[in-house]
Amino acid sequence: MSKNHSLSILRMIFAGSVDDGKSTLMGRLFYDAGALPADQIDQIAQLRTLNENNLPDFSLFTDGLREERTKGITIDVAYRYFRTKNRQYIVADTPGHFQFTRNMITAASNANLIVLLVDVQQGMIEQTKLHMEIADRLGIKHWIVCVNKMDRVDYHMNDFERVSQEIQQYASAVYNRKNISIIPVSALHGDHVVEPSASMTWYSGPTLLELIEQAESNENEHDKPMRFSVQCFYSASEVATSKCNFALGRIEGGCVYPGDDVAVWPGNEQLRVSRIFVGSREVFCATEGMSVTMQFSNSCHLSRGMYLWDPKIELLKSRQPRVTVCWLSEQKCDFEAVYLLKHGHNLYKVRIQKDSIRDINSGGGAKTEGIQTKESRIKPTKSIGDIFGKENEIFNVLVNLEREMAFDPYTMNRNTGSVVFINPATFETCAAGFLCPFDNE
Amino acid sequence: MNPIDELEAEAIYILREVYAQFKRPAILFSGGKDSIVLTHLAVQAFYPQKMPFPLLHIDTGHNFPETIAFRDELVRSRHFELIIGSVQESIDQGKATEETGPEASRNSLQTITLRDTICKLGLDACIGGGRRDEEKARAKERVFSHRDVSGQWRPDRQRPELWHHYNGLALKGEHFRIFPLSNWTELDIWSYIQRENIQLPSLYFAHNREIIRRNGSLLSVGPYLKPRNGEQTERLTIRFRTCGDMPITGAIESKAQTTEEVMEELKLMRTSERGSRADDQRSETAMEDRKREGYF
């Protein structure tokens, strides 16, 4: 492996409304980057006639299910993989239909980069705003906007400028993102996808692939406080080959070295890490995302759901945390009913209570005044009467737990700051939740 | 983390979740490279404890003999528990009917035996080596993939799967298929095989074999596949990219004898891995149709 391949994987999503040409753009990117296998191209080419450029219909490349092909829509997230000389990518193509927003959230929850498509003839629409909202909530670091179908407006600069300004203004006002990358493309003809366009010489910026290649992967932020979640625990008596206790789990944030003292939640215990393994190989430092096996100098008895944490920076603890919820189920949120809440490896029985305080972690929202204040996002409050708990709705709640939970705010750590709600009758995942910081923080 | 470490960490995390969340999980072991890598990862995930999952092999009776020999040696040397579900038995019991005609295969019959075995053993999770880069229906499947009481996959009813919260809660009679290698590509699998020095059946490396050319595939001549009228057999130096049933697994001409040579070959390859699988070429949605019924 060349040293370039040691760059970590970049996870990205493509999002846009129906007919913005997402699948076509993805197919085109892969095709031009040489990452589309020949037999898959043949298979697609057999299905439909070639397009006006004598190229296969790329949208069929990600539309994998029968219904999608017959109806010409995308109904579920498709994952695709490609690699350049630089690094590896995992790409999720997300549905643009409103009722399928839950799939976009699913695909986007682990993404570091979003490619947002806007049709130059339509400009920004409600869907674009919703996708930005979700990208912001999820904490996706890099945003690239492709203003697509430039061929339909004869590649005129003015049309691009108009849409581009609209997007930049909105992103800056609502999300405090001053410099998002916006590029004019034609997915159909491949303009500015991988190769620069001869039809838009007025644009001298990078192509889509160049922008993607430049984005930093989520190289671990080692300055986050250390968090380790226990998935399984083996006491010495259970492990025939060894006289030690083992905790199996994942580093959810920060890093840990042998010799470090860690605190245990729940309880007041402190442990000293003695050795760390990845599988059968010993390591001398474990960082965020690593699945490790830990041994300790002290005797201890841990169990699934416990956290080991850096005693210098405490986990927040609460029996009534505030959560921003994105409701994903067709069945409305029932504010009288009991739900299951999954956080880390713990399952809580909870009741969900409407909460009027809005957007304490919204970043740019509170600072904004002027033309954008009509957006629901930056209303100072959303009154309880405005909360319906419908599919695709984002709202704030207080969650009443039967016992205390320990967490970090989502804005500080995705792993320890996210939850899902589960319907206890069907066991379906019905909502995603972002844990909020305490009021006084 | 480099990509392979990252994928390894993700797979180990998923395997530990299976162990913690389910009562009777098993690894679906085909003797192919993906299920061998999966088994290796399961060993790593629980080291130094014993690997906690039994291996379940759905045996069509049409396997390459090399696959079966490899399976038996692996199970013997590592003291794994092996459960065999036999397609022949399903046929003998009248549960499955052998296909007839020139393109007959036992591929789809496996689903019947698999569903039957899951039911008989009361398995609530079957861990498979499926990867999203293999096929377009698989590209849409969740890591924790829910199966209803009749064992069916409902692609339009998939549970949202967010962050690393894998929801394995199931009602009575439902089960899950779990895919820890979802995000691995063929090249990732080979990189890991190289790094971990994982042994594979000899079929994956260049060897001399008697084949016939049929519908663009190079198929192995053997007890389940004879030349038809007008077909010539030839001896070629080939290897297999996947190892399914003998009569439907196409070979590629190759001189790659080592893992390193295979990786070099793959980097130049412009066809996909399953491009030579006759079972996928039956129709545009062959995989989706089989998956809906409860296929791997």
- Residue A401 pLDDT: 96
Cβ contact (<8 Å) for A289 and B160? Answer: no
User: Using CA atoms, how far apart are residues B34 and B183, in angstroms rounded to an integer?
Assistant: 12
Report chain A residues whose CB lies below 8 A from the CB of B155: 65, 75-76
Interface probe, candidates A75, A103, A217, A232, chain B, greatest B C-beta count within 10 A: A232
CATH number for B170? 3.40.50.620
Across the A:B interface, residue pairs with CB atoms under 8 Å apart total 181
B158 and B261 share one domain: no
CB contact under 8 A, A79 and B167: no
Of B6, B19, B20, the CB nearest to A9: B6
DSSP A48-61: S---TTS---GGGG
Count CA atoms within 13 Å of residue A72 on its CB side. Answer: 8
Instruction: Note whether B225 and B181 are same-domain residues.
Output: no
Q: Tell me, yes or no, whether B215 and B266 share the same domain.
A: yes
**In a shared domain, residues B215 and B169:** no
> What pLDDT is attached to residue B62?
87
Which run of H or E residues covers position A171?
helix A157-175
Does B154 lie in the same domain as B62?
A: yes
- CA pair distance A77, A100, nearest whole angstrom: 9
Partner residue facing B9 (CB), from A239, A289, A342:
A289
Task: Name chain B contacts of A420, Cβ cutoff 8 Å.
Answer: 160, 162-163, 165, 167
What amino acid occupies position B276? S
B137 closest CB neighbour out of A64, A246, A426: A64
Report the alpha-carbon distance of residue A375 to residue A386 in Å, rounded.
14
- Which residue of chain B has the CA closest to A61? B136
pLDDT, residue B104, reads: 74
Ranked by mean pLDDT, the top range of A50-54, A350-354, B11-15, B227-231 is B11-15
The pLDDT, as a whole number, for residue A55 is: 65
Determine the distance in angstroms separating the CA of B119 from the nearest CA of chain A, rounded to an integer. Answer: 21
Q: B285 and A65: CB-CB below 8 Å?
A: yes
Buried b (16+ CB within 10 A) or exposed e, B88-124: bbbbeeeebeeeeeeeebbbbbbbbbbbbbbeeeebb
Element (H, E) at B250: none
Minimum Cα–Cα distance from B134: chain A residue: A80
**Is the residue at B197 inside a domain?**
no
CB atoms within 10 A of CB A322: 21
**pLDDT < 70: residue spans in chain A:** 1-6, 37, 39-56, 58-75, 95-101, 218-222, 239-242, 356-383, 440-441
Residue of chain B minimizing CA distance to A239 = B49
From chain A, the residues in CB contact with B25 under 8 A are none
pTM over 0.80: yes
In a domain, B146, yes or no: yes
The verdict on a CB contact (< 8 Å) between A238 and B6 is: no
**Domain hosting residue B259, numbered range:** 202-279
Q: Where are the alpha helices (DSSP H) in chain B?
A: 3-21, 33-46, 65-78, 87-92, 109-121, 186-196, 259-268, 286-293
How confident is the model at residue B165, as a pLDDT? 96
B93 and B169 inside one domain:
yes
Separation between Cα atoms, residue A165 and residue A143, nearest integer Å: 15
Q: Residue A105: which of B2, B159, B162 has the nearest Cβ?
A: B162
Rounded alpha-carbon distances, angstroms, from residue B63 to B27, B59, B93: 18, 7, 21
Q: pLDDT tens, A368-409?
A: 332 233 344 444 445 677 788 888 788 899 999 999 999 999
Domains and CATH numbers, chain A: 3-214 (3.40.50.300), 227-309 (2.40.30.10), 316-435 (2.40.30.10)
d(CA A148, CA A160): 9
- pLDDT at residue A359, as a whole number: 45
| pLDDT confidence tier of residue B194, bands split at 50, 70 and 90 | very high
Over the stretch A249-308, which tens digit does the pLDDT of each residue have?
Answer: 999 999 999 999 999 999 989 999 999 999 999 999 999 999 999 999 888 889 999 999
Residue A165, number of CB atoms within 10 A of its CB: 11
Q: Would you tell me the crossing angle of helices A126-138 and A101-108 to the nearest 10 degrees?
A: 30
Which residue of B lies nearest to A417 if distances are taken between CA atoms?
Answer: B163
CA distance B191 to chain A (A): 9
User: What is the CB neighbour count within 10 angstroms for residue A21?
Assistant: 24
Report residue A97 as tokens: 């239909």
List, as one string, the DSSP characters of B209-230: EEEEEETTEEEE-BTTB---TT
Kindly state whether residues B77 and B127 are assigned to the same domain. yes
Q: For residues B63 and A157, give the distance between their C-alpha atoms in angstroms, rounded to a whole number.
A: 61
Tell me which of B153, B159, B196 to substitute to probe the interface with A (most A C-beta atoms closer than 10 Å): B159
Q: Would you place residue B228 in the very low, low, confident or very high pLDDT band (cuts 50, 70, 90)? A: confident
Highest mean pLDDT out of A396-405, B130-139, B149-158: A396-405
Residues B123 and B210 both lie in one domain:
no
* B72 plus B109 within the same structural domain: yes
**Any idea which of A186-195, B92-101, B216-225, B259-268 has the lowest mean pLDDT?**
B92-101
Nearest Cα residue to A350 out of A249, A244, A430: A430
Residue B194 counted as domain residue: no
Please indicate whether residue A83 or residue B45 has the higher confidence score (pLDDT).
B45
Co-location of B130 and B147 in the same domain? yes
**pLDDT of A2:** 40
Q: Which residue of B has its CA nearest to A105?
A: B162
pLDDT score, position A366 = 33
Please state the rounded mean pLDDT for residues B141-154: 90
CB contact at 8 A, B27 and B56: yes
> Residue B105: how many CA atoms within 13 Å on its side-chain side?
18
Distance from CA of A92 to the nearest CA of B (A): 9
What letter would DSSP give residue A115? E
CB contacts of B169 in chain A (<8 Å) are 340, 422, 427
Which chain B residue has the Cα nearest residue A35? B270
Residue of A nearest to B50 (CA): A239
